[in-house]
């Protein structure tokens, strides 16, 4: 507190005027705030750090199977070497594709999201904001299957398995990486079997809060962690996910290909994701509680008779 008082006196001296005038007190407050904010990039005791968050724009684009705009127009511009060679080999063996697109998307896909496209044909990206490290579920294919047989290639070991009442999900985990990069981790999951009732613990609000539980319904989950892939996105880059052609009983077919309702035609879904660190998590947004309390103390009171210009 002595240090703050000294800084306040220094700020008042810097104004070069008497401290009993409101404009002088305002100037002193601004000067002191500037002094306290210097070097505020690093957390200090008593500093309130706003939680990190990630903003995502997610577009799920259904296209006819073997559409040239997907197989030739889009994937020919995607950098699939943005993921490791081992992960890329495993994804390819399971009929999956993942990569990164820098710059603008191909014209055909850009037109699908344009405001000039009729609303019934337009793809509108979903905008979400999630806490750093939190998970979001992506569901490219909305139709669950009563029975599906999958051949899963798990590090040179092929497992065949039947799943009942199955639906596929991609669990997306978004987190900050460096000053302006977002790491996206994609983990395929298979939810299957009857819906069961269970109890899950609610995260505690504090170390001394009593543990609480809520009832949640869900299916059995098979998480394919060995097929997880990660991409580091900077502003202007786009994550692209999809399938690698038609491979019967592959995970890519199950996750991204479905039959059109009342038709024999197949459609494939392509996922485009833009990601960036939310502004609220940027440096310089931290608030020092000690400084904020001090600014309240030195804020001038409403203009009264003593401070009116006529009485000075």
User: What is the per-residue pLDDT for 154?
Assistant: 83
Q: What is the pTM of this model?
A: 0.70
Question: Is the pLDDT higher at 312 or at 156?
Answer: 156
Question: Is the pLDDT higher at 95 or at 7?
Answer: 95
269 φ, ψ (degrees, to nearest 5)? -105, 135
Q: Is the pLDDT of residue 175 over 80?
A: yes
pLDDT band at 71 (very low <50, low <70, confident <90, very high): confident
Q: Is the pLDDT of residue 279 over 80?
A: no
Same domain? For 127 and 140 the reply is yes
Same domain? For 293 and 276 the reply is no
Angstrom distance (rounded) from CA 281 to CA 178: 12
- Express each pLDDT in 19-66 by its tens digit: 555 555 566 556 555 555 555 555 556 556 678 999 999 999 999 888
Spatial contact of 52 and 248, defined as CB atoms under 8 Å apart: no
User: What is the per-residue pLDDT for 67?
Assistant: 87
Asked whether residue 201 is assigned to any structural domain, the reply reads no
Same domain? For 304 and 229 the reply is no
Asked whether residue 178 is assigned to any structural domain, the reply reads yes
Same domain? For 24 and 129 the reply is no
Cβ neighbourhood burial of 152 (10 Å; 0-12, 13-18, 19+) = buried
Residues of the chain above pLDDT 70, percent: 67
Question: Is the pLDDT higher at 35 or at 88?
Answer: 88
Same domain? For 240 and 139 the reply is yes
Asked whether residue 210 is assigned to any structural domain, the reply reads no
User: What is the per-residue pLDDT for 3?
Assistant: 52
User: What is the per-residue pLDDT for 102?
Assistant: 93
pLDDT band at 198 (very low <50, low <70, confident <90, very high): low
Spatial contact of 190 and 59, defined as CB atoms under 8 Å apart: no
Asked whether residue 206 is assigned to any structural domain, the reply reads no
Same domain? For 107 and 239 the reply is yes
* Total domain count, the chain: 2
Asked whether residue 211 is assigned to any structural domain, the reply reads no
- Express each pLDDT in 125-143 by its tens digit: 999 999 999 999 999 988 8
Same domain? For 30 and 129 the reply is no
Average pLDDT over residues 76-93: 94
Q: Which of 253, 285, 276, 251 is nearest to 266 (CA)?
A: 253
- For the chain, what is the largest distance between any 2 Cα atoms, rounded to a whole number of angstroms? 91
Same domain? For 294 and 263 the reply is no
Same domain? For 275 and 290 the reply is no
Angstrom distance (rounded) from CA 243 to CA 245: 6
User: What is the per-residue pLDDT for 73?
Assistant: 87
Same domain? For 181 and 290 the reply is no
Asked whether residue 63 is assigned to any structural domain, the reply reads yes
Q: Is the pLDDT of residue 92 over 90?
A: yes
- Express each pLDDT in 212-264 by its tens digit: 666 667 889 999 999 999 999 999 999 999 998 888 899 999 999 998 888 88
Angstrom distance (rounded) from CA 188 to CA 87: 13
Same domain? For 177 and 305 the reply is no
Same domain? For 24 and 75 the reply is no
Domain of residue 44: give its range: 2-49+286-311
- Mean per-residue pLDDT of the chain: 78
| Token reading at 208 | 């001394």
User: What is the per-residue pLDDT for 140?
Assistant: 92
Asked whether residue 11 is assigned to any structural domain, the reply reads yes
Asked whether residue 202 is assigned to any structural domain, the reply reads no
The C-alpha R_g of the chain, in whole angstroms, comes to 28
Question: Is the pLDDT higher at 180 or at 264?
Answer: 180
């Amino acid at each position: 507190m002595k240090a703050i008082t000294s800084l306040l006196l220094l700020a008042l001296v810097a104004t070069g005027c008497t401290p009993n005038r409101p404009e002088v007190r305002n100037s002193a407050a601004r000067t002191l705030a500037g002094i306290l904010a210097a070097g505020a990039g690093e957390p200090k005791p008593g500093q309130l750090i706003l939680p990190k968050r990630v903003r995502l724009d997610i577009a799920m684009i259904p296209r006819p199977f073997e559409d040239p705009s997907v197989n030739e127009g889009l994937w020919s511009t995607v950098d699939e070497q943005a993921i490791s060679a081992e992960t890329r080999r495993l994804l390819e063996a399971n009929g999956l594709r993942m990569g990164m697109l820098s710059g603008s998307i191909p014209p055909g896909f850009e037109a699908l999201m344009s405001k000039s496209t009729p609303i019934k044909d337009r793809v509108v990206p979903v905008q979400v904001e999630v806490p750093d490290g939190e998970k979001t579920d992506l569901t490219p294919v909305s139709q669950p299957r009563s029975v599906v047989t999958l051949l899963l290639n798990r590090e040179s070991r092929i497992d065949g398995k039947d799943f009942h009442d199955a639906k596929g999900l991609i669990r997306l985990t978004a987190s900050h990486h460096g000053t302006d990069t977002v790491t996206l981790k994609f983990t395929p999951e298979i939810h299957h079997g009857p819906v069961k009732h269970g109890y899950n613990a609610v995260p505690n609000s504090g170390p001394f809060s009593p543990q609480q539980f809520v009832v949640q319904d869900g299916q059995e989950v098979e998480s394919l962690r060995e097929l997880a892939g990660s991409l580091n996105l900077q502003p202007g880059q786009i994550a692209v996910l999809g399938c690698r052609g038609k491979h019967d009983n592959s995970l890519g077919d199950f996750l991204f290909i479905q039959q059109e309702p009342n038709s024999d035609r197949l459609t494939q879904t392509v996922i485009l994701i833009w990601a960036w660190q939310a502004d609220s998590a940027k440096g310089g947004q931290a608030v020092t509680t000690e400084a904020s309390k001090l600014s309240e103390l030195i804020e001038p009171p409403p203009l009264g008779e003593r401070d009116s210009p006529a009485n000075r």
